[in-house]
């Protein structure tokens, strides 16, 4: 087991039953499938896991299930972020009891903090937990951005160990890699930018596509880690259409639809997430078939 959050981390979907409850059996099966494929760490209860619609009790239970399923075979990085610093600290304290290995914490959304507010928010969280923290920068969803100078300050806090960068701004991503210490982990939050980021010093990906094609993405990232960018590019080109179609509508709608059609979970979302439009469904299915994925006629658990 890797002792850091590098390589491929899967931003796990949260499977629900047809009645809308967390499907605990499916949570276990999906986690086991990831480990069997060689994924390096798992990330439950993030954006792809529909975290905003999970109760605190559900979040803790999902993380507990994943930790117990992997049984020390991989690291688990649990999502715990929000716009109320005190509530984030309380949530992390509950997650600590599950045996989780680290916390992925998104920037506060809606209240649009300043750069100093971001620094103070994450410093307050770090001071209240023993767990390592990976920051999550996704300005397209949160309305705020961790600037490189702010990241350099945050990287000086001992248990802030990395960042998932999903701004889509390659210039900023490259600058991140230059302003942090060598041991600090810069991860792509966009599948399509994982390989470019790794070429300038990034250390992997927290991935959506790994839900569908975990073993294939591991091949790409491990090749890049070895410096074999010829092989890594081959995998990138093979996976690229699937990377793109996962965002034909808002994440996690396409990936959840795809996994349901692959027979891995029920096609069940929580509002305000809804099933993809018919045109999007056809695009997703076409890419799955082209990739050679088994596609069920009807969705099943």
One DSSP character per residue, 131-163 reads S-EEEEE-HHHHS----HHHHHHHTTSTTEEEE
- Contacts by 181-185, CB closer than 8 A, 24 or more apart: 181/155, 184/155, 185/4, 185/5, 185/6, 185/134, 185/161
β-strand 133-137 against 75-79: which pairing, if any?
unpaired
* Spatial separation of the C-alpha atoms in residues 279 and 239, rounded to whole Å: 21
Catalytic residue among 136, 176, 257, 269: 136
19 catalytic residue (yes or no): no
Catalytic residue among 19, 97, 112, 164: 164
279: how many CB neighbours lie within 10 A of its CB?
A: 10
* Spatial separation of the C-alpha atoms in residues 76 and 53, rounded to whole Å: 21
203 catalytic residue (yes or no): no
What single DSSP character describes residue 52?
A: G
* Spatial separation of the C-alpha atoms in residues 9 and 27, rounded to whole Å: 16
Contact 80, 105 (CB under 8 A): yes
Residue located via tokens 């998932």: 164
For 233, the token pair is 């590019």
Which of the residues are catalytic?
136, 164
């Amino acid at each position: 087991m890797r002792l850091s959050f590098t390589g491929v981390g899967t931003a796990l979907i949260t499977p629900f039953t047809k009645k809308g409850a967390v499907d605990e059996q499916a949570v276990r099966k999906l986690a086991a499938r990831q480990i069997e494929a060689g994924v390096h760490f798992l990330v439950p209860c993030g954006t792809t896991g529909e975290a905003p619609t999970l109760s605190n009790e559900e979040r803790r239970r999902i993380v507990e299930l994943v930790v117990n399923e992997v049984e020390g075979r991989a690291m688990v990085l649990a999502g715990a972020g929000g716009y109320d610093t005190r509530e984030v600290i309380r949530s992390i304290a509950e997650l600590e009891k599950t045996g989780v290995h680290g916390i992925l914490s998104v920037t506060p959304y809606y209240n649009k903090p300043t750069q100093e507010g971001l620094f103070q928010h994450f410093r307050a969280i770090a001071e209240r937990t023993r767990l390592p923290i990976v920051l999550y920068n996704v300005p397209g969803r949160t309305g705020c951005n961790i600037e490189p100078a702010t990241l350099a300050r945050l990287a000086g806090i001992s248990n802030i160990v990395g960042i998932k960068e999903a701004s889509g701004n390659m210039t900023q991503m490259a600058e991140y890699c230059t302003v942090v210490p060598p041991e600090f982990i810069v991860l792509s939050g966009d599948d399509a930018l994982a390989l470019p980021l790794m070429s300038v010093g990034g250390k992997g990906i927290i991935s959506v596509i790994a839900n569908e094609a975990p073993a294939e993405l591991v091949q790409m990232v491990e090749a890049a880690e070895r410096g074999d960018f010829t092989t890594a590019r081959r995998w990138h080109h093979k996976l690229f259409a699937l990377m793109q179609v996962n965002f034909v509508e808002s994440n996690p709608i396409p990936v959840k639809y795809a996994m349901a059609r692959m027979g891995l979970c029920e096609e069940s979302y929580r509002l305000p997430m809804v099933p993809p439009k018919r045109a999007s469904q056809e695009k997703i299915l076409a890419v799955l078939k082209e990739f050679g994925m088994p596609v069920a006629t009807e969705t099943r658990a």
